[in-house]
């Protein structure tokens, strides 16, 4: 696959419109959905990892640290 040269002043909206046109003309999204038909579903997690773990631990960790450090300082 060869790559074409990109100008120094890139018109990003035009590039994005070109990509969207390519996707529409070639039915890329529809082909992707069709290729995964009947397969296991995907799950995407958003946010930092500590947000995905047990909520109790996420809430208790800062409270525990906040309560324990002043005890050692005195």
pLDDT for position 3: 86
User: Is the CB of residue 19 less than 8 Å from the CB of residue 28?
Assistant: no
Where do we find the tokens 């960790």? 61
d(CA 45, CA 51): 9
Residue 18 has what pLDDT?
95
For the chain, 74 residues long, give each residue's pLDDT as a single digit of tens. Answer: 788 887 788 888 999 999 999 999 999 999 999 998 998 887 776 656 555 555 555 666 676 677 676 666 65
Q: Are 57 and 51 in contact, with CB atoms under 8 Å apart?
A: no
Could you list the beta-strand ranges (E) of the chain: none
d(CA 19, CA 28): 11
Task: Identify the pLDDT of residue 13.
Answer: 93
């Amino acid at each position: 696959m060869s790559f074409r040269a990109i100008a120094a002043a890139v018109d990003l909206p035009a590039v994005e419109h070109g990509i969207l046109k390519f996707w529409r003309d070639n039915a890329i999204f529809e082909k992707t959905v069709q290729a995964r038909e009947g397969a296991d579903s995907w799950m995407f997690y958003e946010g930092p990892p500590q947000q995905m773990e047990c909520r109790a631990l996420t809430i208790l960790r800062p409270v525990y640290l906040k309560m324990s450090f002043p005890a050692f300082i005195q």
